[in-house]
Structure 1
């Protein structure tokens, strides 16, 4: 809070009764749905529900129930015909102007929170009302170009002397006090509350309670906690009371909210009107708290000489009026302190295991990215939503086929991404982990996909492969791929027809492979099956038109290589058939040869 300036202009004007009347007068000139806030029937500033003699602890409020400005806004009489003039009119400095940076911070916080939590219905005028009461709009807008109060705004030490007693929680990091905490900044957060709700709304890399942009954003989130809908009167009251547990504080803030809803304008930074009255100055510190006054013992007046005796009519018995029973002050239920969303508590993401993630194409990664969500003291935060995202040129996917996945941290603050499975594309990429709804630094994991490997290729059968020109090889050819003695499925093996084992160059003639499109090629790339085997079926290998000895050179990533011999022969030439002797011409038939048994003629 800024130092006390000037003198108290309206002594006693902040009592509950007068304030309630003032707020009612202001509300009467507003929209008809404006409901005047309730007021307790005491003139002191004390915690609701804590009793009249018990000082507030401050543990359940944003400010530690520290002092605040009690100046009320100027009230403009409706001046309608027949309007009552009996309501008290409280005057004050012209307060319609709000410093430009402060106004900008309130509007930016409203837009940001309405986009992330539209159900809260946060009005910027509520932030302006609290900012006015807590710091006089950052001491009239005394902020630098980044919106940081200069000098810093600090409240008194919360040592229990008239307000909360809070021992140091931040080692003086925010408030410079290593004995007691102090409320800090334009919205007067105590360090323990800022450690949970602090924001970096101006993206300068710092969460500074003295920065109006950071403080306004944090205040808006705090007021919207516990799923409050500030369009409802009950939720609105609860949110303000959670900031400072005082009914008088509630009434003062609501009076400024109503005032700013009538209209306002921007003024240059540093030219705002500073408030005067504060809840801990004037005669407030000397006035006993309600309920602690020493009762006055009535004394019997001594009759003076010459006092006339009452007339008989005045002593005549009459009806006895019942004793007046003092009205009991309304009991306000205790304010439920807001529950901070888990994500708000996170100060950083820590990488649990930073080993490099690797996998071969088409296989699952053996590990998964893991992070720990930690608060400012290094303790784990449970229930935080962590978003894992695959970035870079890759076809690797999470289980289920997506490139993003959201995981909630466990009771130990840990979150691991779903299983990763590599595609067929090799190369490096990144898995990035971020806190959902926060702008904290990301945790990045490097990952690499490599080809499947085989250090050995072996011919399964030793039968030679042979064929004649113009045909195809009728034998089946199988090659087994292994990596460190284990079968290597899914390995890409390149097969090339060559003419020499010592100088393996693709042959220009001879055998070839039958391509998928029916054309013949002399180089193919095939993948081993789940059993690690590469199989060429009969007919897959064509002999060609050139006889000779050829080879299939097979190679695999990882160094595996082997050769398969191919023999192509020309077809055998058949023997020529014998040519018959020609038959002599002249006689139609050969001459008859006499039989040996025939006898000569006589």
Structure 2
């Protein structure tokens, strides 16, 4: 009963100071005293970021990863894993020894830390800490049954929850035909992170690159759990998002409290133990009543105390009375120990978000040319009131609406966490097509702390423009010119992406647009277009097409100018079309008189022919 009473007291404390400490530890990418994250998956065979790391559609809300299966309810000891004499805020001191509860099997710990690194690479704004995965792994499976895994991270035997048959649990009919849980009637939670088959089918990962998505593999399961917790755009440095993420794993407020307690405990320090030697939990949420098993050490102490009682007949009158009173004073020790904990935990109960007093803008010049990546990243340093760096602070970088520069994936806002030097570094920023200065705003969510960083996007330049080829550019009035190629260079190197303005002028000495010269066709209103903006391609070249001669013959100039001073003047000649002279008449023929003669003239040269009609018609002939 005393053990159960003490456990209730500790659970009640969790909802206050311990939960606050958990949120504080969350904001940092590494808990104080923790070892640095590995660069690979140790026992796995794939580099960080490899394998299937695609976030499925939807999020982790609305159901639970485990189907609300039972979980272990053991809580960490009251004493913290911090080394004596070392403040919990000293992140550089590794924990090599400590309470058994603080030990995490080597392969299991490697999987948690690898999952953190992988998820942070693909979703840095989630701020996933590996200590959260460790807290869930402890509650779900006792860290894969104390680390009983092989060298590749697969459990030596399957870890299965009870059948979710509706008898004291949720009712979930079989969804995988027993492929993962071996049960063709109902689903069961599977593996060290206890995914139900339907959830694993959506979120399963191949984190160790062995070609399988195995819920019984700690690498695969840890990465899937990390991505599931980050679903829906959650930022786990924010308490509300943290609670939502844990409750999406198991919809129980006691589960939330238990996980946060272990999360806070691991955040203060851990140490590695060999695989298979981790401490196994005892109490489970599906065991209730007076017959609920206690820790193995609990039954052994009452039995010796009952045995000596009958063995002392003579000292009974004097000894029983003094011996009995000291035993009731024994329970007064927990209250004595309890007050000593707050002073130890006080430093970590103040979240980094509250300790930061100022954001110092980085001094690097943020400049880029259009459509290119900024050479320097936007950074700020989080410092406290004494000017010391504060790690684990969530910093939001926000772009103004006026710029078309963007963070990766087209984002205009990103949230990152300050490192051990207090530096929060935004992802690479890419400039758009607009050449203009703008201001990046950095802030701490939930606080009024801000900093501004000036950024400038400059136009691409070319200090030289030259035509490729030297054929004369000639066309008859109304005719088309051949295509012209021009090359831009800056400091002798090809200049891609440079905006070049082309204007048809009347002479080499004029920069004014011609009224009669060649054009680039007509606009919608029927007006000739004699000014056009072009851009060099990736090879620093631009092609001038569609140039048409005007109706007025003469010599004109195509003036090309680029930012940076590059110019070129191309002569355009317009000629009249060739004319064909009329054909000369033949002197030996006179078709005109022949055509004008009367048809009756040659018939009678004597002139008497005019009388023959009447003679032929005379009635007396």
TM-score exceeds 0.5:
no
Tell me the TM-score normalised to structure 1 length. Answer: 0.43
Tell me the TM-score normalised to structure 2 length. Answer: 0.41
